[in-house]
């Protein structure tokens, strides 16, 4: 490897290799032979030319925060870690754009873009890399207003499995020039090549925001209020559903002092306080008509930050409350009108089966999470969780939805791909075989 990078950027040390063996899921990989940290596109190109020739599997690695085994090396080989390829190359405030290397962390990009009053909105909670977010098409709490990662990528530099460097897209705000190869690479989880540079769209930081907490006596009313709010065109910047079980854990761990009843956290962004007060007045009327029992808006800045931090750390909170257990995460998404039945179906399953499961989600875009905890070595316990996951995903697909709203397919959701996509799944496989005939790029992901 010294032909490609300096000795400080290649390791065969046991601890580095073990650190790259798993993400936050229970999916375990095969110990890679080594870890390599490239810094520039040319290095990546030289490495891939060699690994392709030698038939060595390559697994790209960002921050390792995936939930489905997406960056887990299943066949050993080489892990290509992008954390040292982390320069913000240029921010062009006049174009609302930034050119970045793939290892740039989302929070760092926002710190730098913030100096110009701009930000990169997709927010998966975790401090993920831009490369990992592109590869998973990540999104988060503000997607309901601002969109997902795919909506912010204009142009990519990609190194193909054989080492060839290509550029997709352009820096114009729109283009109808041929196939949209940029979108092909977004969400491809490193199976088609490696992203080494991206031009991202940025947007202005909203001048005013207003957070609100709305409570309900029952879960169905809370879920129905979500589709009514979205249908009314109110355009919340975040609309999250929380159920009493999760709120109870948040209260215990974070002392956020919330009522332990079905609740919506929402936020509105706007150009003036007056406009926001008008919007929140309408939101209050709408949610009251759906059975909202209390509507607290104008949440103070400090409390707002505490609440969002607590929400972002929901997975960690659940994990800590169930020490020694692993998590299986449902990430289904459905059309917004079908959200209430999806939520009720999922909550009932968790209760009927008496498993440790917490229902919540990015409700505003129909995305539902159920985080369930158990021991994968306990076959009975784990298969009960798998069965709940299977049933929820199958129902979501029947309702016109998807097995994964934001976490990607990885290893965990591969079994649903054919059901969800039918013949399109086979076309995806043919594309992957065309680009990577030896199937060396992040093998065993997306496809079974
Ligand atoms: C507590 C917690 C909360 C989360 N909440 C959300 C959420 O709300 N929304 C959401 O979308 N996700 C969420 N996630 C999942 C995760 O943060 C995202 O999927 C994120 O995009 C992963 O980025 P990463 O940098 O960690 O990438 P990794 O996990 O390291 O890799 C992700 C994928 O990208 C590939 N990859 C990495 N770099 C490159 C590259 N340069 N070129 C090509 N392929 C590459 C990897 O091979 C892998 O397939 C959460 C995770 C945690 C731990």
pLDDT in tens, 123-180: 999 999 999 999 999 999 999 999 999 999 999 999 999 999 999 999 999 999 999 9
Among protein residues, the one with the nearest Cα to ligand 1's atom 44 is 190
Percent of the chain predicted with pLDDT > 90: 91
Mutate to test the pocket of ligand 1, among 47, 85, 125 (most ligand atoms within 8 A of CB): 125
What pLDDT, on a 0 to 100 scale, did the predictor assign at position 9? 97
Structure tokens given for 350: 């968790």
What pLDDT, on a 0 to 100 scale, did the predictor assign at position 105? 98
The residues facing 214 across adjacent strands are 264, 295
Mutate to test the pocket of ligand 1, among 120, 130, 135 (most ligand atoms within 8 A of CB): 135
For residue 232, the CA-to-ligand 1 centroid distance in Å is: 33
Find out whether 81 and 36 touch, Cβ atoms under 8 Å. Answer: yes
CA angle 420, 222, 345 (to 5 degrees): 40
For residue range 75-96, list pLDDT tens digits in order. 999 999 999 999 999 999 999 9
For residue 113, the CA-to-ligand 1 centroid distance in Å is: 21
Same fold, 208-314 and 322-424: yes
Nearest atom within ligand 1 for CA of residue 105: 25
What pLDDT, on a 0 to 100 scale, did the predictor assign at position 300? 75
The model's confidence at residue 308, banded by pLDDT at 50, 70 and 90, is: confident
Structure tokens given for 346: 């999922």
For residue range 140-156, list pLDDT tens digits in order. 999 999 999 999 999 99
Among protein residues, the one with the nearest Cα to ligand 1's atom 5 is 124
Nearest atom within ligand 1 for CA of residue 23: 29
Nearest atom within ligand 1 for CA of residue 138: 11
What pLDDT, on a 0 to 100 scale, did the predictor assign at position 266? 94
| List of E strands, 174-273 | 194-201, 203-204, 208-216, 238-242, 263-270
Of the candidates 154, 215, 160, the one whose C-alpha atom is nearest the C-alpha of residue 182 is 154
Of the candidates 57, 65, 60, 62, the one whose C-alpha atom is nearest the C-alpha of residue 23 is 65
Distance CA 128, CA 62 (A): 7
The model's confidence at residue 322, banded by pLDDT at 50, 70 and 90, is: very high
Mean pLDDT of 111-115: 98
Distance CA 274, CA 278 (A): 6
Nearest atom within ligand 1 for CA of residue 406: 11
Domain 88-204: CATH architecture, name and number where available:
2-Layer Sandwich (3.30)
**The pTM of the whole model exceeds 0.85:** yes
Structure tokens given for 271: 């150009």
CATH class, 322-424 region: alpha beta
Quick one: fold of 208-314? Alpha-Beta Plaits (3.30.70)
Non-local (6+) Cβ contacts of 233 within 8 A are none
Query: Going by DSSP bridges, is the β-strand pair 78-81/34-36 parallel, antiparallel, or unpaired?
Result: parallel
For residue range 347-394, list pLDDT tens digits in order. 999 999 999 999 999 999 999 999 999 999 999 999 999 999 999 999
Has domain 7-81 been given CATH number 3.30.70.20?
no
Domain segments of the chain as ranges? 7-81, 88-204, 208-314, 322-424
Nearest atom within ligand 1 for CA of residue 189: 49
> What is the separation, in whole angstroms, between the first and last Cα of the chain?
31
Pocket of ligand 1, beta carbon within 6 A: 23-24, 59-67, 70-71, 82, 102, 124-126, 128-129, 131-133, 135-136, 138-140, 189-190, 194-195, 315-316, 406-408, 442, 445
Find out whether 255 and 297 touch, Cβ atoms under 8 Å. Answer: no
Find out whether 100 and 109 touch, Cβ atoms under 8 Å. Answer: yes
Find out whether 303 and 309 touch, Cβ atoms under 8 Å. Answer: no
For residue 222, the CA-to-ligand 1 centroid distance in Å is: 30
Find out whether 215 and 284 touch, Cβ atoms under 8 Å. Answer: no
Q: Give the DSSP per-residue string, 392-410.
A: HHHHHHHTT-BSBSSS--T
Nearest atom within ligand 1 for CA of residue 139: 11
Element (H, E) at 239: strand 238-242
Find out whether 269 and 242 touch, Cβ atoms under 8 Å. Answer: no
Instruction: Please check the confidence at residue 111 and state whether its pLDDT lies above 90.
Output: yes
Query: In Å, how far are 94, 159, 191, 264, 433 from 438, measured between CA atoms?
Result: 43, 16, 11, 48, 8
Distance CA 84, CA 9 (A): 9
Mutate to test the pocket of ligand 1, among 79, 124, 363 (most ligand atoms within 8 A of CB): 124
The model's confidence at residue 233, banded by pLDDT at 50, 70 and 90, is: confident
What pLDDT, on a 0 to 100 scale, did the predictor assign at position 3? 85
């Amino acid at each position: 490897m010294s032909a490609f990078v300096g000795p400080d950027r290649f390791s065969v040390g046991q601890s580095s290799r073990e650190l790259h063996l798993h993400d936050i899921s229970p999916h375990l990989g095969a110990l890679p032979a080594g870890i390599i940290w490239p810094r520039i596109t040319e290095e990546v190109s030289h490495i891939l030319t060699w690994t392709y020739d030698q038939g060595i599997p390559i697994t790209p690695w960002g921050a390792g925060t995936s939930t489905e085994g997406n960056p887990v090396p299943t066949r050993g080989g080489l892990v290509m870690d992008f954390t040292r390829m982390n320069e913000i190359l240029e921010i062009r405030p006049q174009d609302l754009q930034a050119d970045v290397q793939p290892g740039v962390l989302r929070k760092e990009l926002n710190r730098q873009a913030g100096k110009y009053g701009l930000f990169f909105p997709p927010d998966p909670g975790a401090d993920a890399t831009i490369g990992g977010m592109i590869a998973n098409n990540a999104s988060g709490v503000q997607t309901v207003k601002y969109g997902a990662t795919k909506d912010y990528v204009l142009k990519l530099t990609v190194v193909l499995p054989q080492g060839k460097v290509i550029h997709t897209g352009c820096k114009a705000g729109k283009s109808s020039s041929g196939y949209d190869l940029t979108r092909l690479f977004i969400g491809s989880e490193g199976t088609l090549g490696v992203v080494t540079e991206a031009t991202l769209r940025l947007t202005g930081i909203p001048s005013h925001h207003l957070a609100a907490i709305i409570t309900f006596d029952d879960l169905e009313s809370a879920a129905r209020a979500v589709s009514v709010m979205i249908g009314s065109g109110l355009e919340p910047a975040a609309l999250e559903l929380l159920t009493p079980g999760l709120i109870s854990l948040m209260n215990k761990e974070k002392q956020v002092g919330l009522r332990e009843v079905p609740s919506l956290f929402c936020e509105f962004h706007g150009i003036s306080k007056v406009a926001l007060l008008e919007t929140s007045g309408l939101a209050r009327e709408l949610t009251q008509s759906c059975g909202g029992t209390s509507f607290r808006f104008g949440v103070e800045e400090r409390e707002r930050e505490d609440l969002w931090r607590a929400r972002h750390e929901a997975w960690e909170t659940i994990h800590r409350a169930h020490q020694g257990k692993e998590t299986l995460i449902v990430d289904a998404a459905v059309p917004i009108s079908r959200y209430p039945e999806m939520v009720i179906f999922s909550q009932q399953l968790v209760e009927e089966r008496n498993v440790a499961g917490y229902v919540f989600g990015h409700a505003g875009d129909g995305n539902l999470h159920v985080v369930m905890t158990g021991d994968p070595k306990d076959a009975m316990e784990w298969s009960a969780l798998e069965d709940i996951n299977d049933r929820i995903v199958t129902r979501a697909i029947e309702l016109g939805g998807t097995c994964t709203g934001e976490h990607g397919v990885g290893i965990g959701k591969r079994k649903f791909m054919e059901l969800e996509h039918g013949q399109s799944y086979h076309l995806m496989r043919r594309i992957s075989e065309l680009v990577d005939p030896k199937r060396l790029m992040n093998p065993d992901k997306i496809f079974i």
